[in-house]
Homo-oligomer: A and B are copies of this chain.
Amino acid sequence: MFFEGAEKKLEIIVSKEHQPLYEKPEAFWKELVENCEATILSSIRNDKQIAFLLSESSLFVWDDRILMLTCGQTKLIKSAEFFIDSLGKDSVDCLFFQRKNEYRSHLQTSDFIQDAQFLAGQIEGEALRLGKMHSHHTQLFHTTKAFKPIQEDRTCELLMYDMAPEVISFLTREDLTKEEIRKLFQFEELLPGFELDDFVFKPYGYSLNGIRGEDYFTVHVTPQETSPYISFETNLKICEKSQVLLHQILEILRPFSFDVMTFNCSTEFDFGNNYMKTIHVQDKLDIGYDVHFRYYNKKTDAPEKVYRYKELI
């Protein structure tokens, strides 16, 4: 069974008078999540943020912003609509709505253009594609209202495809525990000091949120053999540190290919000779974000065998 692992992503930054967002009642977040047809599984919080683990990915709430990632067939645009309707469009200082290229888009209930058109009807903005239509790309709607992001406002997404066969075999074991998955990823060594909240799906699949002060990281694993996918995202000060972190994650998972999407990160990534950068799109948005989309893949040596479908009739 195919599952669309590639996330849709919504980030909204609100004006001063609507802060702090994390003081809104839990019922508000529950309704926000239900609007996209996901549910809250659990949550953790500290004095800077709340992190909700969802049936399809994650929701983070800080003082001034929310970040919501959902995968599968969720309708994230409906959560955006609910948020804008609830707080009023003037509350929104900045909004990003992002969709990665999907692999079975006919199973989705809308496409990016439809979503972007809907948003453009609500709030002034523009839509971009970063990457190649015929290869990896991500599509982004963002508001065009004057805005200046704070210095700490940076994001790094590492989206990995077709991990090494041993990794897939391990992650598709049906009796896996959280502890075993945490050990594979070496979260405690690589990202010390984070409070973790995770969930193992049946028959497989795994989601994790980690928080430490204002920092977060989130990991979502869709290990299905037809389309193995793992996403990692963080607001850690990647410009100095995360290149090493990304190397370490790649070394553990050994994907065939991966995307690196960054907002306000000036690092020139170098992943050595194992991976070749085949796509690199960069732009400076007027609203103060330097965006980069990169796609790397391996060179192939020995030919592989075909994949034989077992599901006919």
Contacts and interface: CB of A to CB of B under 8 A. Distances in A.
A279 B283 CA distance: 29
B280 A300 contact: yes
A108 interface: yes
Interface stretch (A53-61, A116-124, A205-213, A244-252): A116-124
Interface string A127-150: 111101111100010000000000
Interface string A274-306: 001111111100000001100001111011111
Contacts of A136: 135
Contacts of A256: 132, 134-135
Contacts of A117: 312-313
Contact of A309 (B101, B116, B292): B116
Nearest to A307: B129
A2 to B, nearest CB: 8
A280 B311 CA distance: 24
Contacts of A307: 128-130
B306 A130 contact: yes
A46 interface: no
A120 B278 contact: no
A5 to B, nearest CB: 9
A275 to B, nearest CB: 10
A110 B199 CA distance: 34
Contacts of A303: 280-282, 292
Given A106-B106, A129-B307, A276 B299 contact: yes
Given A117-B313, A132-B161, A134-B256, 19 more contacts: A2-B133, A104-B105, A106-B106, A106-B108, A126-B308, A128-B306, A128-B307, A129-B306, A129-B307, A130-B307, A132-B257, A133-B227, A134-B227, A135-B297, A276-B276, A276-B299, A278-B299, A283-B305, A297-B297
Interface of A: 2, 101, 103-108, 111, 113, 116-117, 120-121, 125-130, 132-136, 140, 161-162, 226-227, 229, 256-257, 276-283, 291-292, 297-300, 302-309, 311-313
9 contacts: A2-B133, A105-B105, A105-B106, A128-B309, A130-B307, A135-B256, A257-B278, A277-B299, A282-B305
